[in-house]
Amino acid sequence: MLTVKNLTKSFTDASGVVTALKDVSLTVKTGEFASIIGKSGSGKSTLLSMLGALDIPTSGSIEVDGVDIAKLSASQQTAYRAKKIGFVFQYYNLIPNLTALENVTLALEFGGMPASKRKARAEQLLDSVGLTAKEQLRKPSRLSGGQQQRVSIARALANQPAIVLADEPTGNLDSETGKKIFDLLHKLSRSENTTILAVTHDMDIAGKTDRTFKLKDGKIVA
Amino acid sequence: MNVVSRDIKNAFRSPMRSGAIILMLAISIGLILSMLVARTSVNSKIDEVKSKTGINITISPAGVMGFSGGGNALTSDQLATIVKTVHVASTSATLSDQMSTSDTNLTASLELGNFGARQMRFESASSATTNGGSTATSNATSADSIDTRPAPTPRTTVTGTTNPNSISTDGSDLTLTSGATIDGNSSALIALVGSDLVAKNNLTVGSTFTAYEKTITVKGIFKTGNKFQDSGIIMPLATAQTLTSQTGAVSSVTATVDSSDNVSAVITSLKTALSDKADITSQAEVAAASVSSLQSISSLALAGVIGATVAGAVIVLLAMVMIVRERRHKIGVIKAIGGTNRKVIGQFVTEALTLTVIGAIVGLALGVLVSGPMTNSLVSSSQSNTSYSTSTTRGGMGGEMARGFNRIGSNFTQVTSSITPQVFIIAIGITLVIAVIGSAVPAWFIARIRPAEVLRSE
Ligand SMILES: Nc1ncnc2c1ncn2[C@@H]1O[C@H](COP(=O)(O)OP(=O)(O)O)[C@@H](O)[C@H]1O
Ligand SMILES: [Mg+2]
C-alpha cells in the first residue's frame, strides 16, 4: 500500500523558486498497475523521484507499507532504494562497461544478496524478460533498445521490490516494441504482485492500466 | 564478479589517458625521491663539514701567508694574549723557515719544478737588489743574474711547533713510521723528519744532520702522505726560534676553541685584542661559506620535494575530478539503484590508488636512476662558485690554511647520494598523501551527486 499525503516539492535555482508538485495526495494498492500522465514539465518525474527516495519532499508524507520514507536518513534511503524500489528509465541507464548479466548482478549486490547466489538469480531474471544466454553476456551497446529496456526491467525486479517506478519506459522505443515492454511490465506485476507506477504519454497504454493519475502544473487533476 | 578487479579494470578503460596520468605521476614521484635523496645527502655532508672544521682558529702576523708576504712575526706577548682568551682550550704555535744548501747538509727532497723555480728566481733577484754592492762577489752575481740567473736550488722547510701533531694533515695525530714524537716545549736539538727527506738523505732514527751550524738528532720519522709535509723537518718551537735567531717569534698560532658555538666569539675578541697586527682565519668561517651554499642546495631540494608533491597531488586530483565529472550520470544511476556513497567512492579510490601505485613504482625506479646524477649536478653547479674563490687564495698560500682549504674542497666534492630506507619510506609516504588528496576531493564531489538527476531528461 502506497499513500501519498499533501506532497509538495519546490526547487530553488538561479531563476527563483519552482514548485514542481503542489499538495499531491494519492493512494495505490499493493499489486496495482497505475499510470501517470501529463504534459512535459507537469511534475511526473519529480513525483517518481519522491516516491523512489531519490529526493526529499519539501513537505507532506509518503508511506510505503506504513513507513514514511520522507523521514528516513540518507543511508536508510539508499537501503530503501536498493531493496524496496525498482527503477525503469526512459534511456535504460544501464552501466555501459558491464554486461547485461553484470548489470543485474550489481543490483543484486546492492540488495544484499550473497555473491554465490547472484549469478543464477540474474540469469533467471534475464530469461524471464526474454534475453537469450548469449545476449546476457553482451554489453548494453550491443543490445537493441527493446533488449536494453528488458535488461533494465530485470534489474528493477532483481530484489523483489515493493514498487517499480517507470519513467516513460516506452518513450524511446517504437510503438510495437513499446507495447511489448508494457505487456512485460503488466505480466510481471501480476505474477510478482508488484505495485507499478508508470509515466507515459501513450493514452492506449494508460487505458490498459488499473488506474490513471493526471498531473497538471504539479497538481493531480481527475 | 569481484568488485576490486572491476575497479582496477576501470583504471585502464582509457589507456591513453591512464598512461599520461601514470607518466606525469611517475615524473613527479621520481622528482620527489631524487630531491629527497639530494637533500639528505647534502644535509649529512653539512653536518660532517661542521663537525670536522668546527673549532680551530689560525692567527698569523698581518700580511703573512705561509712563506709569502711581509710584516713582523707574532711576539710572545701576543701569544700570551691568545692563550688567555676566554674559550681558547689550547694553542699550538709554529715558526716556519726554509733552509737553503748553505744552512744544512741535507739534500732537499722537493723538486722545484717550473712553479717552484719561478718563485725562487723571483726571490733571489730581489735579494740581489737589496744586498747589491755589499761585497764584490755578490756584486758579480748580481751583475751576472741580469743575463744568466744562478740555477735556483730547492729548499727544506723547518717547522718549529709547540705541538707536532698540529702538522698532521687529516686532523688526527701525526703518523710516525719509526721513532717517537718530540716534546714541542723542549729546546733540545732534536727533530722529526719527513719520510721523503729521510729517503733522500738515508737518515734513520738516531742519525744526525747539520742545520744552522748545529748538529740535530733525528728522533722520529713521520709520513703524512702530503709531499710538501713529508719533505720537511719538525722541531720544538724554542729550538727553531733559537736556531733562526728569532727568540719569542712565531709565524702562526692555531687556537683550539672549547666548542664550535664559541668560535665566532673567540674570533671577535682576538680581533679586538690583536687589532691589525694579525690576520685571523678559521676553517669554521671558510666552512660557513661552503655550508651556506650546501644549505641553499638543501632548501632548493626541499622546495623541489614540496613542488613535486603538490604537482603530483594536483595531477591525481584533476584526473580524478575529470573522471568523476565524466561519470557523473553513471554515478547517479548507481546511487538510484541502491549503490551507497561508500561503494562508489571506494571504486574511485581504488582507481586512484591503482594509478598512483603504478605511477609510484615507475617513479621510484626513475628516482633511483636519476637521484645520483641529480645530486651531483646540484652540488657541482653550486660548488663551482665556491671552488673558484678557494682556488684563487690557494695559490699564494702555504702551510696550514692551504691544507685546510684543500680539506674542505675535497670534502665538498665527496657529497655522495645514497638512497636510505628512510628516504624511501618518506617518498612512499608522500605518494600515499598524494593518493589520499587525489581521492578525497573527488570523493566529496561523488557524495554530492544527486541521484534524482538521472530522471531529468538529458
Ligand atoms: N532539480 C531541479 N531544479 C529546478 N527545477 C526543477 C528540477 N527538477 C525539476 N524541476 C522543474 O520542476 C518542474 C517539473 O519537472 P519534471 O518533474 O521533470 O516534469 P515532467 O517529468 O512531468 O516533464 C519543471 O518545471 C522543472 O523545470
Ligand atoms: Mg519527466
Q: What's the rounded Cα separation, in Å, for the pair B411 and B49?
A: 7
Strand order in the sheet with A211-216: A85-88, A163-167, A195-199, A33-38, A211-216, A219-221
**Residue B133 confidence (pLDDT):** 44
Q: What's the rounded Cα separation, in Å, for the pair B100 and B211?
A: 10
B388-397 tens-digit pLDDT: 333 333 333 3
Put simply, the answer to whether B343 touches A49 (Cβ < 8 Å) is: no
CA angle B84, B89, B94 (to 5 degrees): 80
DSSP B170: S
**Residue B129 confidence (pLDDT):** 45
Mean pLDDT of the B238-264 span? 82
- Residue A140 touches chain B, beta carbons under 8 Å: no
> What's the pLDDT band for B170 if we cut at 50, 70, 90?
low
Host domain of residue A118:
2-220
Quick check: B379 pLDDT over 90? no
**Residue A153 confidence (pLDDT):** 94
Q: For residue B440, how many other CB atoms are within 10 A of its CB?
A: 14
Put simply, the answer to whether A49 touches B455 (Cβ < 8 Å) is: yes
Put simply, the answer to whether A81 touches B456 (Cβ < 8 Å) is: no
Distances (CA, A) of A32 to A154, A164, A193, B36: 19, 11, 8, 69
Grid cell of B435 as nine digits: 593518493
Closest CA to A34 of A219, A215, A216: A215
Grid cell of B188 as nine digits: 733540545
Q: What's the rounded Cα separation, in Å, for the pair B327 and B319?
A: 12
**Minimal CA separation from B335 to chain A, in Å:** 7
Q: For residue A170, how many other CB atoms are within 10 A of its CB?
A: 26
**Residue A168 confidence (pLDDT):** 92
Residue with CA at minimum distance from ligand 1 atom 8: A46
> What's the pLDDT band for B11 if we cut at 50, 70, 90?
low
**Minimal CA separation from A83 to chain B, in Å:** 8
Pocket test for ligand 1, best of A7, A11, A56 (most atoms within 8 A of CB): A11
A38 Cβ closer than 6 Å to some ligand 1 atom: yes
A78-91 tens-digit pLDDT: 999 999 999 999 99
**Residue B389 confidence (pLDDT):** 36
**Residue B70 confidence (pLDDT):** 64
**Contacts of B106 by beta carbon, 8 Å cutoff, 6+ apart:** B99, B156, B197, B200, B201, B209, B210, B211
Pairing of strands A163-167, A85-88: parallel
Mean pLDDT of the B177-198 span? 89
Grid cell of B222 as nine digits: 713521520
| A45, A87, A167 member nearest B337 (Cβ) | A87
CA angle A158, A107, A55 (to 5 degrees): 105
Compare A25 and B86 and report the one with higher pLDDT: A25
DSSP B55: S
CA angle A177, A182, A88 (to 5 degrees): 100
Nearest ligand 1 atom, CA B457: 18
- Residue A78 touches chain B, beta carbons under 8 Å: yes
**Residue B54 confidence (pLDDT):** 60
**Residue A106 confidence (pLDDT):** 94
Find the length of chain A: 222
**Residue A117 confidence (pLDDT):** 95
- For chain A, which residues score pLDDT lower than 70? 222
- Residue B340 touches chain A, beta carbons under 8 Å: yes
- Residue B325 touches chain A, beta carbons under 8 Å: no
Compare A141 and B43 and report the one with higher pLDDT: A141
Are A29 and A192 within 8 A, CB to CB?
no
DSSP A217: T
User: What CATH number did the domain enclosing A37 receive?
Assistant: 3.40.50.300
Quick check: B457 pLDDT over 70? no
Element (H, E) at B260: none
Closest CA to B162 of B194, B190, B185: B185
Mean pLDDT of the B322-345 span? 89
| A93, A102, A167 member nearest B1 (Cβ) | A102
Q: For residue B47, how many other CB atoms are within 10 A of its CB?
A: 11
B188-243 tens-digit pLDDT: 999 999 988 898 898 899 999 988 888 999 999 998 888 888 889 999 999 988 88
Are B61 and B90 within 8 A, CB to CB?
no
Q: What's the rounded Cα separation, in Å, for the pair B29 and B169?
A: 43
Cα A43 to ligand 1 centre (Å) = 6
Are A97 and A147 within 8 A, CB to CB?
no
The residue among A97, A108, A160 with the most chain B CBs within 10 A of its CB, best to mutate, is A97
Closest CA to B26 of B361, B328, B381, B330: B361
Nearest ligand 1 atom, CA A13: 4
Are A60 and A8 within 8 A, CB to CB?
yes
Return the SS3 of B187.
coil
Nearest ligand 1 atom, CA A48: 17
**Residue A175 confidence (pLDDT):** 87
Closest CA to B104 of B198, B16, B226, B213: B213
Mean pLDDT of the B31-39 span? 88
Q: What's the rounded Cα separation, in Å, for the pair B222 and B234?
A: 9
**Residue B145 confidence (pLDDT):** 46
Put simply, the answer to whether B339 touches A78 (Cβ < 8 Å) is: yes
CB contacts of B341 in chain A (<8 Å) are 78
Are B161 and B237 within 8 A, CB to CB?
yes
- The residue of chain B nearest to residue A101, with distances taken between CA atoms, is B1
Are A168 and A206 within 8 A, CB to CB?
no
**Residue B56 confidence (pLDDT):** 76
A180-184, B94-98, B138-142, B446-450: least confidently modelled range: B138-142
- The residue of chain A nearest to residue B343, with distances taken between CA atoms, is A110
**Contacts of B287 by beta carbon, 8 Å cutoff, 6+ apart:** B49, B50, B53, B408
Are A2 and A161 within 8 A, CB to CB?
no
> What's the pLDDT band for B141 if we cut at 50, 70, 90?
very low
CA B337 to the chain's CA centroid: 67
Put simply, the answer to whether B336 touches A105 (Cβ < 8 Å) is: no
State the average pLDDT for chain B: 77
DSSP B317: H
- Residue B116 touches chain A, beta carbons under 8 Å: no
Quick check: B43 pLDDT over 90? no
DSSP A26: E
> What's the pLDDT band for B296 if we cut at 50, 70, 90?
confident
CA angle B175, B177, B180 (to 5 degrees): 80
Are B87 and B259 within 8 A, CB to CB?
yes
* Number of separate domains in chain A: 1
| B337, B450, B454 member nearest A155 (Cβ) | B337
**Residue B166 confidence (pLDDT):** 77
- Residue B334 touches chain A, beta carbons under 8 Å: yes
A200 Cβ closer than 6 Å to some ligand 1 atom: no
**Residue B413 confidence (pLDDT):** 47
**Residue B283 confidence (pLDDT):** 67
Q: What's the rounded Cα separation, in Å, for the pair A105 and A155?
A: 8
A146-174 tens-digit pLDDT: 999 999 999 999 999 999 999 999 988 89
Q: What's the rounded Cα separation, in Å, for the pair B64 and B60?
A: 7
> What's the pLDDT band for B75 if we cut at 50, 70, 90?
confident
**Contacts of A35 by beta carbon, 8 Å cutoff, 6+ apart:** A197, A198, A199, A200, A205, A206, A209, A211, A212, A213
Cα A177 to ligand 1 centre (Å) = 28
Find the length of chain B: 458
Q: What's the rounded Cα separation, in Å, for the pair B410 and B413?
A: 5
CB contacts of B457 in chain A (<8 Å) are 45, 90
Quick check: B402 pLDDT over 60? no
| B1, B333, B335 member nearest A105 (Cβ) | B1
**Residue B320 confidence (pLDDT):** 84
Quick check: B138 pLDDT over 50? no
Put simply, the answer to whether A78 touches B333 (Cβ < 8 Å) is: no
Q: For residue B31, how many other CB atoms are within 10 A of its CB?
A: 23
Amino acid at B30: G
Pairing of strands A163-167, A195-199: parallel
**Residue A205 confidence (pLDDT):** 85
A16-20, A171-175, B68-72, B410-414: least confidently modelled range: B410-414
Nearest ligand 1 atom, CA A49: 17
Q: For residue A47, how many other CB atoms are within 10 A of its CB?
A: 29
B91-136 tens-digit pLDDT: 888 888 888 888 888 888 887 777 666 666 666 555 444 444 444 4
CB contacts of A45 in chain B (<8 Å) are 455-457
Grid cell of B60 as nine digits: 698569523
**Residue B414 confidence (pLDDT):** 58
Q: What's the rounded Cα separation, in Å, for the pair A83 and A103?
A: 16
Mean pLDDT of the B280-303 span? 80
**Residue B135 confidence (pLDDT):** 43
What is the C-alpha R_g of chain B?
35
Q: What's the rounded Cα separation, in Å, for the pair A124 and A122?
A: 5
Among the bound ligands, name the one nearest to the CA of residue A49: 1
Return the SS3 of B387.
helix
Mean pLDDT of the B306-317 span? 88
**Contacts of B405 by beta carbon, 8 Å cutoff, 6+ apart:** B286, B390, B393, B394, B397
Predicted TM-score of the model (pTM): 0.65
